[in-house]
Structure 1
């Protein structure tokens, strides 16, 4: 059964991703970055169904490769062709983005660009940075699948290894950076905590009759009952902490924000995870209460296309606005009004793009209206 509130949650989540990429004031930018990508890992784990692939790891790998990695390469190619055509049209011979500048002016080799697409991490995908999430989610899902397969009936061990992985992922960002691992394996060590938490959360919150017997691991009724009694305070606590954190940032803005793509995890290990979960649970409980929204569901169901293509559309919208107003692009930086307006325009312009891809290029996606997760 499709969970419409989850589609709406994905919808607001992807809108926040687009908004955060339109140069918000520092406080709002830091606040959104603290949880918006962890939220998508959490939702992915919430929707993970171990039973579908319990007997065949190869089918799981093939399925995830088809749903995440094939779109990654397709959208990487589309993005590169788009920027190349824009450069040839407006500034022939003068590349406009760092990715092409390095290929043409420094390396003078197309192989450099191909290698960056194959690596799929951090600055290697600077031509369309949101694509990092697809390779990272692929690795995260493989790691969690392996963990679940080994400890199917031992949730405490799964929680233990999730904690260990989170610690290793954070320490890696502190002591090993700038050495990066292809396909964001290093980021996946931290991301799997949110993925596993999402999977556990579904098991804790659904009733016995709703519970999928094939979900990733079993929980006894005692644990579920304890969470049911104590978890009722979680929405209030999360909302209050989230409001307090946003208020604090508005008063004392900081640029030390979370950016998982480049292994930046904020102030410290504890603040990274606490603030991420505060933001996650604030929006999860909000949308469980609100339910569905047709507009949000539409964008949620098409979140993969939006993730992959909003960045080049952002550049077009910003440049056209700068030309029309006779200003530099920097004129729009750190302005919430411009960011919100450009986000709305970006999302509107994506509607025909979504239609074309879903109806004429469905091979890019697993199915029509393909989401980032689920």
Structure 2
């Protein structure tokens, strides 16, 4: 099956930003990363979205592609978390009760998923795609836009009252504009068209992206429900997606494309590999600036993931179990 290398490279850039964003970095770099690293994955989900099946088949496919990895990664990383707690004599560990409660709620609020907080994204994505399935079934474009606007407004209202529905449903409503934006790109063929623009065209998005970040007091942090100025945050998110799309078109590395294909596996385990590499690098040189240390950790983590995925995919059972391509 044909895979668009731009999309795989985009996923590679996105997962690199996710890894970097979960390391100790300066506030400026943190703000840049958190303005776009989740929107770009909503974009990819929209670009690849298909609603051709009946709902039963669609639900089954999304369950196997999203919920099953969520449950698998949650269980495996919980076991790793408990094992490391015993080895390091860390008394601050999650209990089996915490595990089951976290699975039920499916988000990272109120201490849920404390051993692997980024997993909140998968239940959120699942509920988002289920909702968008019904929106997309309507053939009237104006009605689609109306529904996206309505559900987004409900998400904003729920957020203003600090109401967060389990399995990331509130976040799904807030992410809906990115998915709608993404799907529009695929429908109109705009992705190919925009890549043809001269480099001078990208000066304006870059300037607007910088201005929107500078003028905003927050950013799109879905995990902890902080969104700053919504207009500026979403403007930065959309512009950041466009910039990353263009950046991904410059990448011609099969290794990086390979990492993009396996971004789900990397997403599931990066928190633990981050921690291990960080501990080793800090012991070797504890005085490096935060951003330089984070970038070095990112590079090491990507190399280790590349080598480990190459090794694990030799086993068909492990390849299937760990959702490796």
TM-score (ref. length: structure 1): 0.77
Q: Matches of 2:265 and 2:258 in 1, distance apart?
A: 12
| Counterparts of 1:243 and 1:346, CA distance in 2 | 31
Q: Tell me what 1:5 maps to.
A: 6
Residues 318, 308 of structure 1: alpha-carbon distance in 2 compared, 3 angstrom cutoff: same
After superposition, where does 1:233-272 map in structure 2 within 5 Å? 239-243=203-207, 245-246=209-210, 256-266=218-228, 268-272=229-233
2:159 equivalent to 1:182? no
Q: Residues 335, 246 of structure 1: CA spacing in aligned structure 2 closer, same or farther, 3 A cutoff? A: farther
In the alignment of these two chains, the number of paired residues is: 320
2:245 to 268, 284, 287: 284
- Provide, for residues 53-91 of structure 1, a one-character-per-residue CA deviation record: whole Å limited to 9, x for no partner: 1xx110110010001111111111111111111121121
Show the counterpart of 1:106.
none
Deviation at 1:237, TM superposition (A): 6.1
What SS is found at the alignment partner of 2:77?
helix
**Residue of structure 2 in register with 1:315 after alignment:** 275
The reply to whether residue 60 of structure 1 matches residue 58 of structure 2 is yes
The structural deviation recorded for 1:118 is 2.7
- Say whether residues 1:80 and 2:78 are aligned partners: yes
Is the alpha carbon distance of 1:85 and 1:60 closer, same or farther for their aligned partners in structure 2, counting shifts above 3 Å?
same
Match of 1:37 in 2: 38
Match 1:205 to one of 189, 193, 206: 189
| Structure 1 residue aligned with 2:266 | 306
- Correspondence for 2:309: 354
Gapped runs of 5+ residues in structure 2? none
Matching residue of 2:98:
112
Cα deviation, 1:314-362, whole Å, max 9, x if unaligned, reads 111222333445x5xxx77x72101100111111222243235434313
Q: Root-mean-square deviation (CA), in Å?
A: 2.8
- 1:261-299: CA deviation from partner (whole Å, max 9, x where unpaired): 122112x221121110010111123434x3643122111
Point out where structure 1 has 5 or more consecutive residues left out of the alignment. 104-109, 211-227, 370-374
Q: Does 1:144 align with 2:132?
A: yes
Provide the secondary structure at the position in 2 that maps to 1:351. helix
**Residue pair 1:132, 1:184 contacting (<8 A) in 2 also:** yes
For the pair shown, the structure with the greater C-alpha radius of gyration is 1
Deviation at 1:44, TM superposition (A): 0.8
CA shift for structure 1 position 147: 0.9
* TM-score normalized with structure 2 length: 0.88
Cα gap change, 1:244/1:154 in structure 2, threshold over 3 Å: closer, same or farther? closer
> Structure 1 residue 247: deviation in Å?
7.2
Q: Which residue number in structure 2 is paired with residue 273 of structure 1?
A: 234
Equivalent-residue separation in structure 2 for 1:72 and 1:235 (angstroms)? 39
Q: Residues of 1 paired with 2:190 and 2:217: CA distance?
A: 38
* 1:217 aligned partner: none
Distance 2:204 2:148 in 1: 27
Structure 1 distance, partners of 2:97, 2:127, is 24
Conservation of the 8 A alpha-carbon contact between 1:26 and 1:255 = no
Deviation at 1:154, TM superposition (A): 0.9
1:208-223 maps to which residues of 2 (within 5 A)? Answer: none
